[in-house]
Each structure stands twice: as structure tokens, then as C-alpha cells.
């Protein structure tokens, strides 16, 4: 059956179509990032053009050591946004994993009232689209979760850094990290649960008999065994946090905006700088690729092979 | 070595009581084997001693100190699990030294201990391998090595050989016996295999339905089982059971049933005479039947041979005796043809009688 399917030309046609659909836009973006805007919108759409790195020069103008001739004023702060993106994506990934693995372990191994309800409802949180969260989160982050300007800490922050008064979550790295953690946690808990269930209970019992306390059992036995799960969850969380646009656009300010927001800033009522958008898009794609390659090396199937007799 | 005592141990899962007041005392350096069919509560008992299961009622004493509420690590025990439970992310050396590393012992001491134990178990060449790269027998050895490295006072074994193939199991059984002689520690061993129990134990504890049926030395249990369950559980092939009645004739006592009429002598006769009920079950081990064409009728069984199973030096015959099937173990050189009716003498002392209703030995 499988053999005949492989022989069928339609099968290859479908495969080719799927490959084209997924790789096509990337190729298009890659090609366009080396074109001048004129070439991009000229409508010829051909592959014949004179490649230029002008777009990249413009996108990276604040980190380049020289000043490109064609850039009059460096309005794009790619370097800053890139660092913001890194800080937000990495910290939210680490936090999500730390909290997620502990929560998942508790949900799998401990018996407590409402365990099943908690397990289910965490996943239900995931079903709420970010757009629905946007307005309430924006309000809360701007008006509720603030350190009062008359208070001790808020006052101190204002005195040191200046600012309008109240120090609120909105516009800070912490504010964005917090909402990303909340958004990704349910999925991470859910995915790690399925990994923890597979850790044989007798391993934990053996560790307990060997003299390990609850935390040692968790950190020395369980955690190393669910490394593939942690890696998968890390890739997932990092990429969501890296690519997220909607919430970040509402919650970040000038100094904390991330790369996706920066890209959109290339559109104005006068001009859409397609070339720069494409170049920034290419640059944006690099860190997740590196991160995925690094993390996926941890995904080795059959980690628990040999633990117990199957 | 610590003295372990179980006092009226009861275990309940919800409303279901699975252990009904286990009382057990283990002598110093004794190899105790808990044996019984699946679900008899032997593993639960062991896990309660280890501290992996809560005790519902009763108490466990180690050196007269109640330990019911102690964590496993505070009970000075080492345990070998049925599925080995090796840490797959650590190599053999790190598996074996896990407990010592947790105790923060000096590195030199840990290395020496691991090397010593590995040498005695023949694992020296495998110290750098991960469990996944070892065969079943080697994993079993590592699991044992991990327990030995600990230097714990008591060793618990939860069916450690049940995952090995028959040949390896025999080998490991012998190694276990050697090891127990060498280390001289308390050993508590759980198995459902009566051969392991018979060969390894100083003391066998037969459990059934959450109750201890009988405990004692293997020979004692084999020769004087106190009820039909123990009699049927120990010994391979199992004991034959035939329904019969006690009949007194001319001053002698006979046990009579469909296809047999055996005269009882000595203490058996006295016990049968004194017993209130006349309905009994006759038990005869396959090894207590001996082919003897000239045996007197009141000391032998006449059996129709149905099947002969050749197992090398011995053959096991499956025979018909009235409505019941009877197994006979005899030398393979005995000339036997299927379909024949043969006479088998019952060895002196080979007759066991049980009350038909209560199944208690007379």
C-alpha cells in the first residue's frame, strides 16, 4: 500500500506543492531583501536584478561601524530592538520552563484536590487568543500594575531614572515577559506532563531509597530524563516570544520595542520600505534558527532506554 | 545487623484491605523470602518495609525503633527493583555511586568502593557504559551493584530475576546465593517463583490473599505444609490432590477414594482417627510416587498413563486416577507405554491429608 503511494506521481506533486508553499515566501523574502524598492514594486518580479546590500545597511544602520552614503538619518534602532527581543525571549523562555516543569511534575506525581481540573484548565487558558487579552492586559499593565509615584520604590525609581510619575508594567521588559510567560505556560505544562508521565516511577523510588530528598529526585533524576521535552518546549516558547507582535506592540514603549514592531515601523503613510522590511525579516529569522539548532541537539529519542526492562 | 519486626501490618487502598495484619520477625543476617502468587501482598509488604508505601495500620520496627514515619533514606536499606530502575542518563559507575555521592563522601572512597563492587560482580569493563548499552543480565548486576555499594544494613529485593531468561535466572540465582553468604546482611526477597524461594531462603514466608500462610525453613515447609495452599504452592511439579474419605476397617485406618484405598500408619492414622470430619483431601507429591509393579494395593495407586513428558533424566507422567489427574515424577529409564495401567507405590511419609472444607492439614 505504502509502496504504491510512493509510486504515484500525484504524491510527488503534493509534496512539491507543500515544499513550494513553505519555502517559497522565504526565497521571495531573501531575494527581495537584496533588491532596491524600485525593483521590488516594478512588477517585473523577475529574478534578474542587480543585488545590493543597501537594505541591510539601512536596517543595521545603528550597529554599523561606518555610515552608509545612502542613509541620511538612522531612524531604525535595529540593535536596540534586537537586544530587547533577545532579553524578552530568553528570559520568558527560562521562566516558562522553570515554572512549567515544576508545575507539570506536581500535576503528574502529586495527588491533591482538583488536580484534574487544574490540569485541564491550564490548557483552556491556551485557547484564549492573544487578541482577546490585548485590551484588558493593556489596561491593567498601564493603570493597575503600577508602583505609586508617592510610594517609596516608585518614588526612588522616578528620582533616579526620571519619567512621568507612576512606574507601570507597561513599557517595561518585565511587563512583556510576564504576559509571554502566562501565554506559554499552559502549553509547556501540557507538553512536559506527557514527558514526566513516561519517567518510570521506580526510578524515583530507587532515588528515594538511595537517599535523595524530593528536590534531589526532581533535579538529579527527573529533570535530566525529560531534557528532550524541555528542549522541545524551549524551542516552542522561544519562537512564540520572538515572533509575537500584537501584545508587544501594545505593551512596549520606545525603548523596549522588539524587532517585529520595528519592522512594521518601516511603513508610513508616505512610503513602504519593502526592501528594508525584507532585510529585517531575514535578520529576524536568524536567532530562532540558531536557537532551534542548539536546542534540538538535546532532543535525542530513547533517552530512557535501558532504565527499566520494557 | 538490625532486627526487623512487622507488627500487625495492615494496608488498605481506599476501602479495600489488601494486607490483613502481617506479623513477621526476621533473625540476624537471615535470607527471608516472601513468596506467593500475584496479588498476595508480598510486594506491598516489601515496599512498606522500604518506606515506599504508607502503612495503614500496625508498625514496622527496625532495631525496636518504629520506622513507619521515616523516609526511605532514613531506614538504612538498599533495594533492587524488578525492572532494575537504573538511571539511564548516568553511566554504570555513576549509577552505582549515586547514593554515596548524595552522602557527599570523599571521591577517593567512592571510587574505591565502586571499583571493588564492580570487580566482584564482573562489571569492571562496563563502568563507563550507559544502562542502555548493557544486556539484561548486566543491568541486573548493576542494579545489584548499586545496592551493594551502599553498605546498607538491609537489602530488599523485589522480584529481581523475573525479567531474565531461564538460563540467566539460574546463573544469577547462584550468584545471589554466593553474594548473600559473602556480605552477611539482612536480605528480604520477594518472588512468585517457588524455586527461587526454596533455593535461596533461610526462611520462607508463604503469603496468600494478604495473609501469611506459613513460615519456616524451606525443608520444613516442603515436608510439613500446614494447609493445602502451601502444599500445592511449593514443589514442582505441584502436589497431587485427590478427594477421599477416612474409613476404619479391622482396626486400621484407610483413606479411600475413587481409584485408591491407602492404609495409614503411625501418627497419620492417629490424626485421621481423631479428626472430626471424614471428608479429606489426599495430597501426594509426584516425587513420592515410585513405579513398583509388586506394591501392595493398600500402599499404592493404580494409574492410567495419559501423557509422558520427557525432561531429560526425569520424566513426568500425567495419569488418570478416577476423575482426577495425577502427576508422577520418575526416572526416564522406567519402561512406560501410554495407555497402560501401572502401579505406583507411595513412599512412606509421602501421604498428606487435608480437611476437605478448611483445607488445613490433619
Beta strands in B72-138 (DSSP E): 77-80
Q: Would you state the pLDDT for residue A310?
A: 43
Residues of B with CB under 8 A from a CB of A: 50-52, 71-73, 77-79, 81-89, 98-99, 102-103, 130-134, 136, 139, 146, 150, 163
Which chain A residues touch B52 with a CB distance below 8 Å?
205, 208-209
Q: Can you give the residue range of the structural domain that contains B152?
A: 4-233
Domains in chain B, number: 2
Q: Which residues of A238-247 are buried (b: 16+ CB within 10 A; e: fewer)?
A: bbbbbbbeeb
pLDDT (average), residues A186-209: 91
Which chain B residues touch A306 with a CB distance below 8 Å?
86, 88, 130-134, 139
Contact A309 B78 (CB under 8 A): no
Which chain B residues touch A304 with a CB distance below 8 Å?
88
Q: Is residue A228 part of a domain?
A: yes
Give the mean pLDDT of chain A. 84
pLDDT (average), residues B304-317: 88
Q: Which of B346, B253, B342, B259 is nearest to B299 (CA)?
A: B346
Q: Are residues B193 and B295 in the same domain?
A: no
Contact A211 B103 (CB under 8 A): yes
Q: Cell numbers of A36, please?
A: 532596491
Nearest to A205 among B52, B78, B132 (CB): B52
Q: Are residues B37 and B167 in the same domain?
A: yes
Nearest to A306 among B81, B86, B150 (CB): B86
% of chain A beyond a pLDDT of 90? 26
Contact A203 B87 (CB under 8 A): yes
Better-predicted residue by pLDDT, B276 or A246: A246
Domains in chain A, number: 1
Contact B78 A303 (CB under 8 A): no
ipTM of the complex: 0.84
Backbone angles phi, psi at B22, to 5 degrees: -80, 125
Q: In terms of CA atoms, which chain A residue is nearest residue B75?
A: A209
**Do B96 and B130 form a contact (C-beta atoms < 8 A)?**
no
Q: Are residues B104 and B80 in the same domain?
A: yes
A182 in reach of chain B (CB within 8 A): no
Q: Is residue B332 part of a domain?
A: yes
Nearest to A308 among B73, B85, B146 (CB): B85
The CATH number assigned to the domain holding A137 equals 1.10.3720.10
Q: Are residues B249 and B227 in the same domain?
A: no
Q: Of B233, B249, B270, which residue is a domain's last? A: B233
d(CA B357, CA B177): 39
pLDDT (average), residues A238-260: 89
Question: How many helical (H) and strand (E) elements, i.e. helices and strands, does chain B have?
Answer: 9, 20
Q: Would you state the pLDDT for residue A302?
A: 46
pLDDT (average), residues A227-245: 91
Nearest to A209 among B77, B82, B103 (CB): B77
Q: Is residue A136 part of a domain?
A: yes
pLDDT (average), residues A217-234: 91
d(CA A212, CA A218): 9
Contact B79 A307 (CB under 8 A): no
Alpha helices in chain A (DSSP H): 2-7, 9-32, 37-41, 54-59, 78-109, 115-126, 130-139, 152-161, 173-197, 201-209, 214-216, 223-225, 227-243, 246-251, 259-264, 274-296
Band of residue B268 on the pLDDT scale cut at 50, 70, 90: confident
Distance from CA of B87 to the nearest CA of A (A): 6
Q: Are residues B194 and B245 in the same domain?
A: no
Distance from CA of B360 to the nearest CA of A (A): 39
Q: Is residue B360 part of a domain?
A: no
Q: Cell numbers of B74, please?
A: 532514613
Band of residue A209 on the pLDDT scale cut at 50, 70, 90: very high
Contact A224 B89 (CB under 8 A): yes
Nearest to B85 among A200, A213, A224 (CB): A200
Contact B88 A208 (CB under 8 A): no
Does A44 have pLDDT greater than 90?
Answer: no
Give the mean pLDDT of chain B. 90
Range name among A141-150, A283-292, B20-29 with the lowest pLDDT average: A141-150
Q: Is residue A33 part of a domain?
A: no
Does B66 have pLDDT greater than 50?
Answer: yes
Q: Of B189, B217, B233, which residue is a domain's last? A: B233
Contact A202 B89 (CB under 8 A): no
Q: Which of B233, B290, B186 is nearest to B35 (CA)?
A: B233
Does B241 have pLDDT greater than 80?
Answer: yes
Q: Are residues B215 and B72 in the same domain?
A: yes
Q: Are residues B173 and B246 in the same domain?
A: no
Q: Would you state the pLDDT for residue A208?
A: 92
Q: In terms of CA atoms, which chain A residue is nearest residue B84?
A: A308
Q: In terms of CA atoms, which chain B residue is nearest residue A302?
A: B132
% of chain B beyond a pLDDT of 90? 50
Q: B14-57, pLDDT tens digit by residue?
A: 899 999 999 999 888 899 999 999 989 999 999 999 999 999 99
Query: Best residue in A195, A210, A219 to probe B by mutation, most B CBs within 10 Å?
Result: A210
Does A309 have pLDDT greater than 70?
Answer: no
Q: Is residue A152 part of a domain?
A: yes
Q: Is residue A188 part of a domain?
A: yes
A214 in reach of chain B (CB within 8 A): no
Q: Are residues B9 and B88 in the same domain?
A: yes
pLDDT (average), residues A284-297: 87
Q: Are residues B133 and B260 in the same domain?
A: no
Q: Which residues contact B39 (CB under 8 A, 6 or more apart)?
A: none
Nearest to A306 among B51, B72, B134 (CB): B134
Contact B139 A221 (CB under 8 A): no
CA B316, B318, B324: angle at the middle one, nearest 5?
A: 140
Q: A111-138, pLDDT tens digit by residue?
A: 888 888 888 888 888 888 888 888 988 8
How many CA atoms does the CB half-sphere of A205 hold within 13 Å?
Answer: 22
Contact B85 A225 (CB under 8 A): no
Q: Is residue A52 part of a domain?
A: no
Q: Cell numbers of B320, please?
A: 488418570
Q: Are residues B253 and B333 in the same domain?
A: yes
Contact A306 B130 (CB under 8 A): yes
Q: Can you give the residue range of the structural domain that contains A97?
A: 78-255+292-296
Q: Would you state the pLDDT for residue A75?
A: 73
Q: How many residues does chain A have?
A: 310
Could you tell me how many CB contacts below 8 A there are between chain A and chain B? 89
Query: Best residue in B53, B54, B75, B89 to probe A by mutation, most A CBs within 10 Å?
Result: B89
Contact A203 B136 (CB under 8 A): no
The CATH number assigned to the domain holding B37 equals 3.40.50.300
Q: Which of A68, A24, A82 is nearest to A263 (CA)?
A: A82
* Prediction pTM value: 0.80
Which chain A residues touch B130 with a CB distance below 8 Å?
306
R_g over Cα of chain A = 24
Q: Are residues B248 and B226 in the same domain?
A: no
Longest CA–CA span in chain B (Å) reads 81
Q: How far is the CA of B49 from the CAs of B6, B56, B69, B187, in angstroms?
A: 8, 13, 11, 12
Nearest to A210 among B51, B98, B130 (CB): B98
Q: Is residue B349 part of a domain?
A: yes
**Do A262 and A280 form a contact (C-beta atoms < 8 A)?**
yes
pLDDT (average), residues A178-196: 91
Q: In terms of CA atoms, which chain B residue is nearest residue A224?
A: B89
Q: Of B195, B216, B233, which residue is a domain's last? A: B233
Better-predicted residue by pLDDT, A305 or B156: B156
Q: Are residues B71 and B184 in the same domain?
A: yes
The CATH number assigned to the domain holding B249 equals 2.40.50.140
Does A92 have pLDDT greater than 80?
Answer: yes
Q: Is residue A63 part of a domain?
A: no
Q: Is residue A272 part of a domain?
A: no
A300 in reach of chain B (CB within 8 A): no
Amino acid at each position: 500500500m505504502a509502496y504504491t503511494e510512493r509510486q504515484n506521481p500525484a504524491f510527488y506533486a503534493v509534496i512539491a506543492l507543500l515544499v513550494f508553499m513553505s519555502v517559497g515566501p522565504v526565497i521571495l523574502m531573501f531575494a527581495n531583501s537584496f533588491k532596491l524598492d524600485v525593483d521590488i514594486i516594478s512588477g517585473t518580479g523577475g529574478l534578474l536584478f542587480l543585488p545590493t546590500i543597501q537594505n541591510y545597511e539601512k536596517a543595521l544602520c545603528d550597529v554599523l561601524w561606518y555610515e552608509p552614503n545612502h542613509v541620511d538619518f538612522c531612524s531604525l534602532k535595529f540593535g536596540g530592538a534586537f537586544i530587547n527581543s533577545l532579553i524578552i525571549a530568553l528570559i520568558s523562555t527560562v521562566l516558562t520552563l522553570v515554572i512549567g516543569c515544576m508545575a507539570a511534575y506536581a500535576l503528574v506525581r502529586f495527588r491533591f484536590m482538583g488536580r484534574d481540573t487544574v490540569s485541564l484548565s491550564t490548557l483552556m487558558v491556551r485557547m484564549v487568543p492573544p487578541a482577546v487579552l490585548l485590551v484588558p492586559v493593556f489596561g491593567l499593565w498601564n493603570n493597575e500594575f503600577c508602583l505609586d509615584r508617592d510610594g517609596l520604590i516608585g518614588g526612588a525609581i522616578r528620582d533616579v531614572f526620571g519619567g512621568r510619575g507612576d512606574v507601570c508594567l507597561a513599557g517595561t521588559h518585565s511587563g512583556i515577559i510576564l504576559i509571554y510567560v502566562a501565554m506559554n505556560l499552559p502549553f509547556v505544562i501540557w507538553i512536559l506532563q506527557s514527558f514526566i508521565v513516561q519517567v518510570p516511577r521506580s526510578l524515583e523510588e530507587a532515588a528515594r531509597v538511595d537517599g535523595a530528598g524530593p528536590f534531589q529526585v526532581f533535579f538529579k533524576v527527573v529533570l535530566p530524563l525529560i531534557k528532550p521535552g524541555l528542549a522541545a518546549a524551549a524551542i516552542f516558547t522561544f519562537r512564540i516570544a520572538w515572533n509575537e507582535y500584537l501584545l508587544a506592540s501594545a505593551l512596549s514603549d520606545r525603548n523596549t520595542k522588539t524587532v517585529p514592531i520595528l519592522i512594521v515601523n518601516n511603513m508610513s503613510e508616505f512610503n513602504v520600505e519593502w526592501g528594508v522590511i525584507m532585510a529585517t525579516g531575514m535578520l529576524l529569522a536568524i536567532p530562532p534558527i540558531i536557537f532551534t539548532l542548539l536546542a534540538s541537539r538535546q532532543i535525542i529519542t530513547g533517552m530512557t532506554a535501558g532504565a527499566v526492562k520494557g | 545487623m538490625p532486627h526487623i519486626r512487622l507488627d500487625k501490618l495492615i494496608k488498605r487502598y481506599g476501602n479495600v484491605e489488601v494486607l490483613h495484619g502481617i506479623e513477621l520477625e526476621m533473625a540476624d543476617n537471615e535470607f527471608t523470602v516472601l513468596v506467593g502468587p500475584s496479588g498476595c501482598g508480598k510486594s506491598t509488604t516489601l515496599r512498606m518495609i522500604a518506606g515506599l508505601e504508607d502503612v495503614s495500620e500496625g508498625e514496622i520496627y527496625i532495631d525496636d525503633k518504629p520506622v513507619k514515619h521515616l523516609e526511605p533514606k532514613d531506614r538504612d536499606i538498599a533495594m533492587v527493583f524488578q525492572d532494575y530502575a537504573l538511571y539511564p542518563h548516568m553511566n554504570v559507575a555513576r549509577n552505582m555511586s549515586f547514593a554515596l555521592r548524595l552522602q557527599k563522601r570523599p571521591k577517593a572512597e567512592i571510587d574505591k568502593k565502586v571499583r571493588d563492587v564492580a570487580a566482584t560482580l564482573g562489571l569492571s569493563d562496563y563502568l563507563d557504559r550507559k544502562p542502555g548499552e548493557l544486556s539484561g543480565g548486566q543491568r541486573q548486576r548493576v542494579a545489584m551493584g548499586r545496592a551493594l555499594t551502599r553498605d546498607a544494613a538491609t537489602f530488599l529485593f523485589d522480584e529481581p530475576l523475573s525479567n531474565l531468561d531461564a538460563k540467566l535466572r539460574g546463573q544469577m540465582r547462584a550468584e545471589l546465593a554466593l553474594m548473600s553468604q559473602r556480605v552477611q546482611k539482612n536480605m528480604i526477597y520477594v518472588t512468585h517463583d517457588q524455586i527461587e524461594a526454596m533455593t535461596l531462603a533461610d526462611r520462607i514466608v508463604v503469603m496468600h490473599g494478604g495473609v501469611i500462610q506459613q513460615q519456616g525453613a524451606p525443608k520444613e515447609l516442603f515436608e510439613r505444609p500446614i494447609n493445602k495452599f502451601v502444599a500445592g504452592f511449593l514443589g514442582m511439579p505441584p502436589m497431587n490432590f485427590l478427594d477421599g474419605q477416612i474409613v476404619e476397617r479391622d482396626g486400621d485406618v484407610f483413606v479411600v477414594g475413587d481409584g485408591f484405598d491407602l492404609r495409614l500408619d503411625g501418627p497419620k492414622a492417629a490424626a485421621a482417627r481423631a479428626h472430626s470430619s471424614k471428608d479429606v483431601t489426599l495430597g501426594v507429591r509426584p516425587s513420592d510416587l515410585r513405579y513398583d509393579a509388586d506394591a501392595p494395593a493398600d500402599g499404592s495407586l493404580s494409574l492410567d498413563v495419559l501423557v509422558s513428558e520427557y525432561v531429560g533424566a526425569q520424566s513426568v507422567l500425567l495419569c488418570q486416577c478416577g476423575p482426577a489427574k495425577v502427576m508422577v515424577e520418575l526416572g526416564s529409564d522406567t519402561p512406560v507405554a501410554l495407555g497402560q495401567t501401572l502401579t505406583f507405590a507411595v513412599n512412606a511419609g509421602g501421604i498428606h491429608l487435608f480437611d476437605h472444607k478448611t483445607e488445613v492439614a490433619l
